[in-house]
Amino acid sequence: MSKSNIFLVGPMGAGKSTIGRVLAAELNRQFCDTDRVIEDRTGADIPWIFDMEGEAGFREREAAVLSDLACEENLVVATGGGIVLLSENREVMKASGYVCYLTASTDQLVERTSRDKKRPLLQVDNPRKKIIELLEMRDPIYREAADFIINTDKRSPKMVSQEIIRLIEES
Ligand code: S3P
């Protein structure tokens, strides 16, 4: 397995998919989004998978998709916000590419996810509280997994992707 892939990790609303698409276009690479690959393979959307199989079932599907994508080369991969929870996933990403942690302020995360009904973990009375709780729990794990940490606040997807390219070139 060569280390040629780029994995974008971080919380829901960090901009992984939008930035990933721009980054892939800049680098002339293929873009993949683990959530979309899971949905294509399952033939169902993520809320349905959570309903029928629980979060545990979703995590199994997510790990299987990640390990397949990690066998390919030169991909830009936007991952689901919880992908770092499994240590195997962190190892798979490290072994097959660069891991970029996209951060954003809580206000930005709340704003960017506020109109979304497709994220089961945020269908609660107080999504802001949930975002804060998830971040408190996951931020150390994202940091441990990451080769680079990039703030996305008040920056265009193009600016963020150029920073990622620079960080990889300088590494
Ligand atoms: C999740 C994030 C979602 C999706 C699922 C669970 C999480 O992906 O994988 O709803 O645990 O944070 P995005 O980060 O792309 O929204």
At residue 1, does pLDDT exceed 60?
no
Choose which residue among 32, 34, 35, 61 to substitute to test ligand 1 binding: the one with the highest number of ligand atoms within 8 A of its C-beta: 35
- Whether 127 lines ligand 1, by a CB cut-off of 6 Å, is no
Give the number of domains in the chain.
1
- Whether 82 lines ligand 1, by a CB cut-off of 6 Å, is yes
74 pLDDT band (50/70/90 cuts)?
very high
Mean pLDDT rounded to a whole number for the chain: 96
Q: Each residue of 117-148: b (16+ CB within 10 Å) or e?
A: eebbbbeeeebeebbeebbeebeebbeebbbb
Q: What is the pLDDT of residue 3?
A: 81
Residue 51 falls inside a structural domain: yes
Residue 64 falls inside a structural domain: yes
**DSSP label at 13?**
T
CA-proximal residue: ligand 1, atom 10 (nearest): 119
Residue 171 falls inside a structural domain: no
CA-proximal residue: ligand 1, atom 1 (nearest): 81
User: Which amino acid is located at 44 in the chain?
Assistant: A
Residue 108 falls inside a structural domain: yes
The predicted-structure confidence for 86-134, as pLDDT tens digits, reads as follows: 999 999 999 999 999 999 999 999 999 998 889 999 999 999 999 999 9
Residue 138 falls inside a structural domain: yes
Percent of the chain with pLDDT over 90: 95
Residue 33 falls inside a structural domain: yes
Residue 158 falls inside a structural domain: yes
Classify the C-alpha dihedral 102-107-108-113 as positive or negative.
Answer: positive
At residue 2, does pLDDT exceed 70?
no
Q: How much of the chain is helix, strand and coil, in % rounded to 5?
A: 60, 15, 25
Choose which residue among 7, 37, 41, 121 to substitute to test ligand 1 binding: the one with the highest number of ligand atoms within 8 A of its C-beta: 121
Residue 10 falls inside a structural domain: yes
Cα(83) to ligand 1 centroid in Å equals 8
Residue 138 belongs to domain with CATH number? 3.40.50.300
- Whether 120 lines ligand 1, by a CB cut-off of 6 Å, is yes
Residue 41 belongs to domain spanning: 5-165
pTM of the model: 0.97
Cα(82) to ligand 1 centroid in Å equals 6
